[in-house]
A = this chain, B = another copy of it.
Amino acid sequence: MPSPARPSLTPRKQPRQARAEATVDAIFEATIQLLTRPGAENLTTTRVAERAGVSIGTLYQYFPNKQALIYALNERYLVALTEKIEATCRAQEGESAKNMLKALIDTYWQAKTERPEVTRALYRSVADLDNTALIETFAQRVDAATTAMFSSASDVDFANLAEVNLTLVTVIFGTVRNAFERGLDTDEADRLHGQLLLMCEAYLVCIGERINHAGGQSGGQD
């Protein structure tokens, strides 16, 4: 993957026919399979094509180069992840902050945990890819979604929403990833999961925002 004169990362053509879409899917699937096998560093376009059951020429019909393939794969993953988070955020509109935290943590934790090898593989795959733009794009979408969610909390009024949101999002996502990389066993992971929620709640209490444990009755004039 030589980087000077970085080539286009956008797919070469959009699959218009069903057949083409199936091909692209097969290629993605093959890539993931190879990526999640030991020896993933051996990911080669030839092997991807082989496993996808298409010729190498066909692969290059859909992706102008290897980086574009990896980029597209990560994009796909990030889109799905982001959409999950957005869905969670929408579903929590108007809920209590505590519920929001719980839902956010659960969603992210589960997303990272359900196919751990895939997560790990994707982390590795982007090592030498300039995916800053990708990351940023999706970070913004996530920030927007969580910000909107928290601003609708039924029981809290955030004085400095931006700061709190950044803190929570950074802590949650960072902690989950770290937990993930430490290879904790299920038991430890579960307990950590719980403690993370506790910590985030404690944070909200601490920053002086009143959480109406009792529900909305005490204030509500907002």
Stretch of A90-98, A147-155, A163-171, A214-222 contacting B (4+ beta carbons < 8 Å) = A163-171
A38 cross-chain contacts in B, Cβ below 8 A: 2-4
Chain A, 197-214, CB within 8 A of any chain B CB: 198-203, 205-207
Binary interface encoding of chain A residues 138-168 relative to chain B, with 1 for a CB under 8 A from any of its CBs, else 0: 0100000000000000000000000110110
Copies of this subunit: 4
Pairwise interchain contact A167-B195, C-beta atoms closer than 8 A: yes
- 5 A-B pairs with C-beta separation under 8 A: A164-B195, A166-B188, A170-B182, A171-B178, A199-B200
Interface of A is mostly: helix
**A192 and B207 in contact (CB under 8 A), knowing A2-B39, A40-B128, A178-B177?**
no
A5 interface residue per 8 A CB criterion = yes
Q: Within the assembled complex, what's the spacing in Å between the Cα atoms of A182 and B42?
A: 28
Binary interface encoding of chain A residues 1-27 relative to chain B, with 1 for a CB under 8 A from any of its CBs, else 0: 111110000000000000000000000
CB distance from A183 to the nearest CB of B (A): 7
Pairwise interchain contact B198-A203, C-beta atoms closer than 8 A: yes
A127 cross-chain contacts in B, Cβ below 8 A: 41, 123-124, 127-128
A166 cross-chain contacts in B, Cβ below 8 A: 188, 191-192
CB < 8 Å neighbour of A175 from B3, B171, B195: B171
Pairwise interchain contact A170-B178, C-beta atoms closer than 8 A: yes
A135 interface residue per 8 A CB criterion = yes
Pairwise interchain contact A179-B188, C-beta atoms closer than 8 A: no
A116 interface residue per 8 A CB criterion = no
